[in-house]
Chain A
Amino acid sequence: MKELINTLSEAFEVTDVVSPRPALTFVTTPKELAISLVTHLRDYEGFSHFVMMSCVDWIEDGKFQLLYLLHNPETKTDLGVKTFIDRENAEMTSAHHLWKQVWTYQRELKEAFGIDFPGSPRVDENFVVEGWTEMPHMRRDFDTKEYSENTYFPRPGRETNDPATYMRKKLYPNEPITAKKQDNDK
């Protein structure tokens, strides 16, 4: 894997190489080179199995982190290619031409995070939330609690507990709940 990373570093400006396990490595590459790198890995390095595509919202940095996770069935290794894109007007080059299932991931990311993949099939179709008019629901700033409080009516006769506070009271009844802990629960 080290040899492969050295090869990729020069051509694809690979940085931030992290290996949580010997068979799993994550690398970061600029947005412009990400699809070229993924294509190279598929066509020349044996990473033929597309495991998944994911997104992490680093709202504090104003960035979305896209992940293309690939698997090499011969060497039994995984390589995660990460790239960062701006949260505002988020857009990424489509990779639907590389594997048949990629368009589904891109369609979901468009709906859940608001990232556009121009040219990707059915990218504007609803995936799991039909008729959704709020902000994309997987963004960090979408507050599920606030949304449900504003959308649904309270059910009389039912008590609602904050899960963390409830568990703390149940497991450690004698431990006082400080203001700090209550803040952490929120």
Chain B
Amino acid sequence: MTDAALPAIRISEAADELESPTRRALRRLFKRKGAVAGLVVISIFILLALFAPLVAPYDPIATSWSLVRKPPSTLHWFGTDDLGRDVLARVMYGARASLLAGAISVTIALSIGVPLGLLSGYRGGFIDALISRITDAMLACPFLILAIALSAFLGPSLGNAMIAIGVSATPIFIRLTRGQVMAVKVEDYVEAARAMGNPRWRIALFHILPNIMPALLVQATLSIAAAIIAEAALSFLGLGQQPPAPSWGSMLNAAQRFLTNAPWMAIWPGLAIFLVVLSLNLVGDGLRDALDPRAR
């Protein structure tokens, strides 16, 4: 039999085996233009938030009675709000509140949700049943109602809003982690680790957790997007960032009365939320595609 009769071996298969999973995922991620655009936009906003004091043209809480509700001009690119404050500066500083709200609430949700999900999925039995029922109960309550009630309970402030959103988002992570753990714990490498005598916590931490990271990462990205919108909603209801510190949601709250008189007060923070959340969603979707083991 000559070589020609054999089916051609894909050279790339060899190359695939040499590439680390992380590299492969990153490569696939960057192939999706939407995800790349999203990453760029998010990075810009993160930089803006970090360097706001250096970049912002004005003090975001400096009021000016003579400059109330002025339309965009060369002096104030985004116009001024109802107390004469520069909208551009407030959007930049507001990025801090909104991005922080997204990141911290999801961190809270991960810190509570993942361990509980690991426990529930790996141990099984009564603990699993208990945690699952509580998770179901929390999921059965509308997310925003939970967040509003928790926020009201803790008291209106940005920090409390983050806690409220984080706790309300926890059940999603519990359920996701649990599902992933149950799928992974029957895999060979887990069996092998157990056969070698590893204690359960070690298996959970070092063998299972790293393998469910991709799914968690995707969900975390999408949850940050949802958390930013939730922060806007809570601030809109007066339960989030306290005045005069800016946040995109509280800016929208104040802008609502001036839609016909001063629409720029609503357009810019709304646009900011839209861009950040859209980018996060694109990156999340891109990550899901990139980390999908079934894709070519």
Q: Do A and B bind each other?
A: no
B-side residues, CB < 8 A to A, are none
A-side residues, CB < 8 A to B, are none
